Amino acid sequence: MTAGSGKPPGWKQGLALVSLALSLLLWLNGLVDSLNRPSVGQALNLRQLELAVEAAPALPPALQPLLGSPPPLQALDQALATSLQRQAEAGVPAPAALRLERALLLQRLDRPAEAQGLLQGLARPSPGAEASPEQRLAAALLGSDRVPALARWNGQSSLLARWSCEALAGPPGQACAGLSAPQRALARLLAVTLLPGLLLLLGVLLLLRELWLWRSGRAPAATPLQGPPLSGLDAVLLIAGGFVVVGELLTPLLITPVLGGLLDQLAIRSPLREGLTVLLLYLALMAGPLLILRQQLRGLGPAPQAGWLQFRWRPLGSSWQRALRAVLMVLPAVSLVGWLQGLLWGDPGGSNPLLELVLRSQSALALACFGITAMVLAPLFEETLFRGVLLPVVGRAFGPLWGVLVSALVFAVAHLSLGELPPLLMLGLGLGWLRWNGGRLSSCVLMHGLWNGLTFANLLILGG
């Protein structure tokens, strides 16, 4: 049903109302439930502090302030203590590797009594369960017999592996030399601290220039907003009915058991199993909404130049340039909103589970699946729906500014995380501005992919 083609059938209105009601219920439940999900922010902070400890021997004196105050070991101790305390208050068992790392750190800080208590609790075997590597290592540290085979235990981080080795093998020496790489740690630390700071500064300068051009009347006029002439009812059916009900609700219910059985038959195990599950589920989630959109566009008649969605990939260099500038300009806004949220709310939790998977994974194939999903599939799919359809439909009815705002808000809410909602809203506003200002959906797809790529790269560097 196209805009202005008469009153839509009653069944279509009823289906849209039911889809909208279900979507609002699912989204509200998902947003509230996100508060119970852990935040990847704590894990990222711990990884960065671990890098600071590893990099300290290679850090030139002029860059010592980069590590901040208090000194790295004390800062890491505070972060580990806070993390363990929060998990205890929430009734969640603390990871054994986290408890082992704090025990080893307490030994290095000359607090043997506290370290002994943690090691004793960790070494205590669970009834009927096989001892974990952390439990066996804790038992070895408590005993007088230092088991040489454990000196090369592969922990969850290079820092934990080195500390475990040194605690078992005695004073640092040749036995643990291969586990110490302060120069490499320093390079990673600079990549996750100095480089984002430089990008942020460049983004501020570009943003100030853009504001100056706008105030002085020198900014180029926005291109006419083009998009498929669908009605608001069509947009509700696509987003609420297709994206939420079909994609987020029915598809996982129907596909997950089939996909699990297929992976079992192929004998695919973790961690590749998680990567393929994420990739294939997202492909399945895309199918329903895109088929609905294809059906909606079929009856619209001849499409304008560059199609109804105005991808306009050529010239590709121009699209990349617009996308890169927009990423840099939106970075200060997202950072400011995240900083203010931290001051007012703290860390509300509710991170996207994919972030934790990327941070923890050590499988190149699994990471490739995560990367394709985050940097290729998600930008193409989400920009098609939110900036390709929803923005021009709302913009045609209420004006481009409302189109940008509504598409950004729906985009942010659709990620089902109260903690990430304000930064995602700012990102959505940047994507909407780029779509309105430049007229190309391809630039939005590339900007979205670049943003996810920066996040992905940061997780890879911190994950090691």
> Is residue 108 in a domain?
yes
Same-domain status, 179 and 318: no
Residue 24 located in a structural domain: no
How far apart, in whole angstroms, are the C-alpha atoms of residue 263 and residue 232? 41
Q: Report d(CA 45, CA 49) in Å as an integer.
A: 6
Does residue 451 lie within any of the structural domains? yes
Model pLDDT, residue 149: 45
Residues 169 and 108 in one domain: yes
Is 1 inside a domain boundary? no
Which of these, 199, 166, 365, lies nearest to 279 by C-alpha position? Answer: 365
Whether 235 and 319 map to the same domain: the answer is: yes
pLDDT 10s digits, 118-137? 888 888 777 766 777 788 88
Residue 408: per-residue pLDDT: 98
Instruction: For residues 392 and 303, state if they share a domain.
Output: yes
pLDDT the model gives residue 309: 94
How many domains does the chain contain in total? 2
On whether both 178 and 324 belong to a single domain, the answer is no
Q: Which residues pair with 2 in a beta bridge?
A: 230
User: So what's the pLDDT on residue 180?
Assistant: 62
Which residues form the domain of 153? 40-123+132-183
Is the pTM higher than 0.85? yes
Spans in the chain with pLDDT lower than 70: 1-7, 63-69, 128-129, 144-157, 169-180, 348-349, 464
Domain shared by 176 and 238, yes or no: no
Tokens encoding 410:
């729906």
Cα(255)–Cα(250) distance, rounded to whole angstroms? 8
Strand ranges for 53-199 from DSSP E: none
Q: What is the pLDDT of residue 174?
A: 56
- Are 288 and 383 members of one domain? yes
Q: Can you give the pLDDT at residue 155?
A: 47
Check whether residue 91 and residue 239 sit in a common domain.
no
Q: Are residues 331 and 284 in the same domain?
A: yes
Q: Kindly state whether residue 12 falls inside one of the protein's structural domains.
A: no
- Asked whether residue 138 falls in the same domain as residue 276, the answer is no
